Structure 1
Amino acid sequence: MTTPPYPAVTDAELAVLRAQLGRPARGVLGIAARCVCGNPTVVATAPRLDDGSPFPTFYYLTHPAATAAMSTLEAEHVMPELAGLLDDADVADAYRAAHTSYLADRAAYGEVDEIAGISAGGMPTRVKCLHALAGHALAAGPGVNPIGDAALARSTWSPSRCVCADPGAARGEAA
């Protein structure tokens, strides 16, 4: 886990991000979480992109196997199950706190009126995007975002096992 402010992103990291995303990464402020091999897994993204667009997704999941795993969970309709966890008052309180933490992390890089109060992934009351929630959980560390943690626990991908050199894993295929 890296917390703001982030070290400068290197050209080598930008090249890895380009390969992961299949396009140049936009508005990268730093690497917020890494694979055990050191490759980027989550980037911290500027709240306003260079073209002036507001961008609420501060923690952006980039690792192909992680994004594939979250897509699989969404396709398997796991989101309603994870949303049901919010019926527990303690989980709901922790999720609201995760929202507040997310906003504070992004605010360290500027306030953007168009996205004021908007975090990502449906926080603080819904479960909308597992990619965003997992990205936040990976960047913030275990115990901060309970729904992101639960999504990671349900997925076939693990941040503790490198699959960067495995093309099948990048597509979400089991090893």
Structure 2
Amino acid sequence: MVDDRDVAAVGRQLGRTPRGLRAVAHRCPCGLPDVVETSPRLSDGSPFPTTFYLTCPKAASAIGRLETSGMMRDMQARLADDPELAEAYRAAHDDYVARRDKAAAEEGLEPLPRDMQSAGGMPTRVKCLHALVGHELAVPGVNPFGREALDAIGEWWATGPCCRAGEPDDPTQTTSAEPSKETT
């Protein structure tokens, strides 16, 4: 269960009411949620495969800059050339799917199809660093590309919180940092 203060903070980060929240999966050093765990299916039953959703707009903006730098293209090339890295990335995918399936079981939901990609392009592509970083923050040490991206962005929180913490009110009260490209 996510408490009202966390729901309000995530709403401020995203600029809208979040959907499918299950838990705060990681907190920024400032104390606010920066990754949430979402249900594998939204309330209308539609699939939502992004189990670990990066919500912090400061982190998302920093990761967006990495994506435009060509980092994903370089990661993709390394994935094709390094069997050990490919195996670690496959293991990250397997971890993601297992956690998504566990969430479905806990909620009494039909699991998502086994052939559906997990997130971020796993297991064969590098498509979205936001999703890979969300996974690495939620489950440290499991996602090699999420770890590399985290190391590259540094301390995104160092200039202070991305939004106000506090009681629920208007979820559109955010800072000027861009929210994640994903859609909760």
TM-score bin (small chain)? 0.7 to 0.9
Aligned twin of 1:37: 30
Aligned twin of 1:5: none
Which secondary structure state, in structure 2, belongs to the residue aligned with residue 32 of structure 1?
strand
CA gap 1:163/1:82 in 2 versus in 1, 3 angstroms: farther
Do 1:30 and 1:45's aligned partners in 2 also have CA atoms closer than 8 Å? yes
Counterpart amino acid of residue 112 in structure 1? P
TM-score using structure 2 length: 0.80
Provide Cα deviations, 1:46-67, integer angstroms capped at 9, x if missing partner: 0000122100000000001111
Shift of 1:10: 0.4
Do 1:26 and 1:49's aligned partners in 2 also have CA atoms closer than 8 Å? yes
Which secondary structure state, in structure 2, belongs to the residue aligned with residue 108 of structure 1?
helix
TM-score using structure 1 length: 0.84
Moved more, 76-85 or 42-51: 76-85
Counterpart amino acid of residue 130 in structure 1? L
Give matches, 1:87-106, under 5 Å: 87-106=81-100
Q: Does 1:154 align with 2:152?
A: yes
Residues matched between the structures, number: 162
Aligned twin of 1:4: none
- CA distance in structure 2 between the aligned counterparts of 1:162 and 1:108, rounded to whole angstroms: 36
Shift of 1:76: 1.8
- CA distance in structure 2 between the aligned counterparts of 1:74 and 1:102, rounded to whole angstroms: 21
Aligned twin of 1:16: 9
CA gap 1:134/1:113 in 2 versus in 1, 3 angstroms: closer
Which secondary structure state, in structure 1, belongs to the residue aligned with residue 103 of structure 2?
coil
- CA distance in structure 2 between the aligned counterparts of 1:127 and 1:103, rounded to whole angstroms: 16
The alignment-based identity, stated in percent, is 48
Unpaired runs of 5+ residues, structure 2, are: 105-109, 164-174, 180-184
Shift of 1:85: 2.7
Give matches, 1:19-168, under 5 Å: 19-86=12-79, 87-110=81-104, 111-114=110-113, 116-141=115-140, 143-158=141-156, 161=158, 163-164=160-161, 167=175
Shift of 1:106: 0.8
Do 1:34 and 1:41's aligned partners in 2 also have CA atoms closer than 8 Å? yes
Shift of 1:34: 0.6
Moved more, 22-31 or 116-125: 116-125
The CA RMSD measured in Å over matched residues stands at 2.1
Do 2:40 and 2:112's aligned partners in 1 also have CA atoms closer than 8 Å? no
By relative contact order (CA 8 Å, sep 6+), the higher-ranking structure is 2
Unpaired runs of 5+ residues, structure 1, are: 1-7
